[in-house]
Structure 1
Amino acid sequence: MKLIYVIPMFFLLAACGEQRIDEKPADSYFSSVTDSISAESEKILFEDAKNQFYFPRYSPDGSKVFVTGNNYKGIWSYNIEDKKLLKLTGEEKSGYEYVSSKEGKTIYFIGAKFLDDIRRYDFALQSVNTENGTTTKLLSTRDRLSDLKLIDDSTLAFFFNDSLAFFSTTANKFTTLPESDFRITKIYGNKLFVYTKAGKTELTPFGEDNIIYADQSRKNDDLFYAAGKGLYKYSSSGEFMFLGDFQNAKYSPNGKMIAYTLEENDGLKTTNSDIYAAVIGTRIRSYKLTASENINEANPSWSPDGGSIIFNTTD
């Protein structure tokens, strides 16, 4: 049983030499300087004795929370107002990389079914209605599909046999370059590829150290975790900034803060994990949000207004 928690956030601002508590949404905080972050005690949002849930994230309007199961099997939707949990799909690997439409009524995901007779996967791009769980198959192939992204509400991007492809959700077919600007990153071991309308750029920023993708802000700044090094911010201008040895990092909605975990391990497993938030500026200011004993908190994610952080436990 894994519990899904919410931490309501408070921000202490320094403005004109005075400090005050401001209860505006987080996107409006940064006309002043954030001087401190604090949080209420975490609250259990929901739990289920029959299922284990991981990687919670809010819907774009904040009315629902989406979660996946063990080994990314399945996607569920939890309605915060009526407290109802709806299973949207039980597809293998569907929870690994899925995206929500901007209004939150549709989720797009890639399912992967292993075919024992030929020892290969069958990949399927699918959509599911978050209100009733109705699923529609958009594309089925034995060629690998990966790195699903939402470009706009009618265009998806993904890698089809390791080549960037665009797919129209209205015409249900491959399409040409979208009119919308985009910035897509792809990782191959220690190599980083950045795709824009202008073309593709290849980088090897950390030598032989492998890269793990973390998150992208609305301003197209990326977070990358380099094995053996730590977390870096990669700006759209091409600059790398070291942030710290932070795990599971996620940008706040305005891209000026991150939520992350600091983990302790005994060489075999994680023995302790707590949630932190940090303000990213000319220096990094971090604030510890949880300090639970014998409970490992993981996979933090922000609410759309930046006013709370949701996460799951792993115990």
Structure 2
Amino acid sequence: MRTPQVVRDPSLPERVTIYEVGPRDGLQNESAVVPLETKAAFLRRLVEAGLPVVEATSFVHPKWVPQLADAADLVDAIAERGLDRVDGRTVPMPVLVPNERGLDRALERGVRHIAIFGSATETFAQRNLNRSLDEQFTMFEPTVRRAREAGMDVRAYISMCFGDPWEGDVPVDQVVSVGKRLFDLGASQLSLGDTIGVGTPGHVAALLAAFNEAGLPNTDLAMHFHDTYGQALSNTQAALRAGVTTFDASAGGLGGCPYAESATGNLATEDLVWMLHGLGIDTGVDLDRLVATSVWMAGQLGRPSPSRVVNALAGG
């Protein structure tokens, strides 16, 4: 299988961590329920392809995301079958928890890595969390505190960092204020989401600089780009040049957001890996195996992958 010609840019990081969100963010918007066994096989294939972190599912109420109603069974399968273990290493498989009830379910099953999902805007907080912008922190505080007391690692997502479908442009200082409050609850990393894919490279650089000025170094930040307007890889390069080394991506370009219809086009993990490998940046990912995994999953879903790299390497 073809590989990119490597031209190393010494100003860029030598290694990047890809935070794979396909099994959770990628599948959550599927209308037809994906069988548990297919999800388990997907997790295993991603681990075997070398992904260093694979977000498995979410303990959200089944009423809101029916696709993830089997979250507890999937977490049990991970533990019972060792789906997270390969070549003597254990791959973190975080679970999204929306509140303390979700945390209780995670604790019952011995989950060690969780994530919370906040909003940078008032409207999305109301639609996604049924809380105001300020009330979301009251909801998250006991969740994060109890998780940390239990020895869990906690990641915080912040959505609508670059634009909101109802409110339009989102001020940079508002994003920084919300993001820092979320991070300061006790998170180990803050993932900045371009939920509707409207960000551009200059906007990325400005937002990262503002977070740095507020006291959050790029080592504490991750980027979560969507490719709705074709900007995801350009935005990734801007973040790389700023020193960010963790990027969220979804195998095969699966997914969107069930609470924002315009949130389409997750950055495909294969497209990201192709670019990073061409820049001489190590990811630890076996691109051939990853492409094969996305071709397989596309077959399970009954439609082609939207990833350009998957289609180029797999012949359509």
Larger RCO (CA within 8 A; separation ≥ 6): 2
Question: What TM-score does the superposition give when structure 1 sets the normalisation length?
Answer: 0.33
Question: What TM-score does the superposition give when structure 2 sets the normalisation length?
Answer: 0.33
Looking at CA atoms only, which structure, 1 or 2, has the larger radius of gyration?
Answer: 1
